[in-house]
Amino acid sequence: MTVPALFQPLTIRSVTFRNRIWLSPLCEYSAEQDGVPTDWHLAHLGSVAIGRAGLVMTEATAVNAVGRISPHDVGIWTDAQEATWKRIVDFIHSQGVAAGIQLAHAGRKGSTAPGWGADYDDTTPPEKGGWTTVGPSTLAFGDYAAPVALDRAGIDETIADWVDAAKRALRAGFDVLEIHAAHGYLVHQFLSPIANDRTDEYGGSLENRARLLLQIVRAVREVAGDDVPIFVRVSATDWTPEGLQSADIEQVAAWAHDAGADLIDTSSGGIQSGIPISTGPGYQVALASGIRHTAEVPVNAVGLITDPHQANDIVESGQADAVMLGRELMRDPHFAFRASTALGYKLPYWPEQYERAQP
């Protein structure tokens, strides 16, 4: 039987992904204020592992306390967080599925409320568990409180937190480390002229604005060794002439690849509120394909990929090496079962417990 492109395994460094259907990071805002994942995370991520995605990626997981988006975000800067992630990773592995962690720092978009809260789009005050945010500059995101600009020591400490988080993630058993450099969070804030008006070596030219990302990639690669894949999630455009353009990010992707990143997870937007994005099925696939062909680095596409044939075509046509699905996997964590049937492929690794449900 021919294996459809979507179901062909992919090996990056020492990790073989059983297929190209990957879970996109999805913030659940379901931790207590200690950043420790809960049974919700085990069930949410576990259900996608049972559903046989090729990679289960965690939500944005903060590298330190001020790097959270909301007080209910998960993190990986304490022993309790690390131990709880290990339990979740062990379950994902028990299903034969690779586990990835998205390491994140929210920067000036931190200290907000959970995504569904009445206060969303507003800064959470200290008495409700909020904190003073940091950023490259004092430029605020929309109506949020202005951040404190990181000085050199603050930048060095942040990189050290990234390294420490990567070490913890490896101890917890994660197979893939993803650096979140998209959606207007800290690393993207440094990259984009919209949030970065520094005049030192971290501001001005694209090379300077990319410095933080590249330092993080190099530092994480050092602890990851040669075996562990590193992904970088980028916003491939800011969707405004004042911001990052796709050509800028193609250049940044090539630099990140040289610095030790293996795959560019290609998203877009998020640097400032009020910038319209015209979305539609697969609306970011062309951005991913541009990076793949210009920077000559593997990519995954994400964004309104919901249909098995659409997903298969993206991989088969060489526009991306894999697809990430977010909301579709929330609606149907067993999408891979449905997709294999739709593509006329008998999934050889159906869970035994669900065998009687095979079509």
CA distance 89 to 309: 30
In the complex, least distance from residue 20 CB atom to ligand FMN, rounded to whole angstroms: 14
- Determine phi and psi for 161, rounding to 5 degrees: -65, -35
At which residue do the structure tokens 């969707």 appear? Answer: 239
User: In this complex, which beta carbon is closest to ligand FMN, that of residue 37 or of residue 149?
Assistant: 37
CA distance 322 to 318: 9
User: In this complex, which beta carbon is closest to ligand FMN, that of residue 172 or of residue 305?
Assistant: 305
Name the residue with the smallest CB distance to ligand FMN. 326
Structure tokens given for 89 = 């990773």
In the complex, least distance from residue 28 CB atom to ligand FMN, rounded to whole angstroms: 8
Would you give the distance in Å from CA 229 to the centre of its chain?
13
In the complex, least distance from residue 10 CB atom to ligand FMN, rounded to whole angstroms: 19
In the complex, least distance from residue 283 CB atom to ligand FMN, rounded to whole angstroms: 9
- Determine phi and psi for 241, rounding to 5 degrees: -60, -25
CA distance 103 to 64: 10
User: In this complex, which beta carbon is closest to ligand FMN, that of residue 49 or of residue 149?
Assistant: 49
- Which of 29, 144, 185, 345 is catalytic? The answer is 185
User: In this complex, which beta carbon is closest to ligand FMN, that of residue 149 or of residue 232?
Assistant: 232
At which residue do the structure tokens 């592995």 appear? Answer: 93
Task: Give the binding site for ligand FMN (CB under 6 A).
Answer: 24-27, 59-60, 102, 115, 180, 182-183, 233, 267, 302-305, 325-328
The length of the chain in residues reads 359
185 is known as an active-site residue: yes
CA distance 352 to 194: 51
Catalytic residues: 185
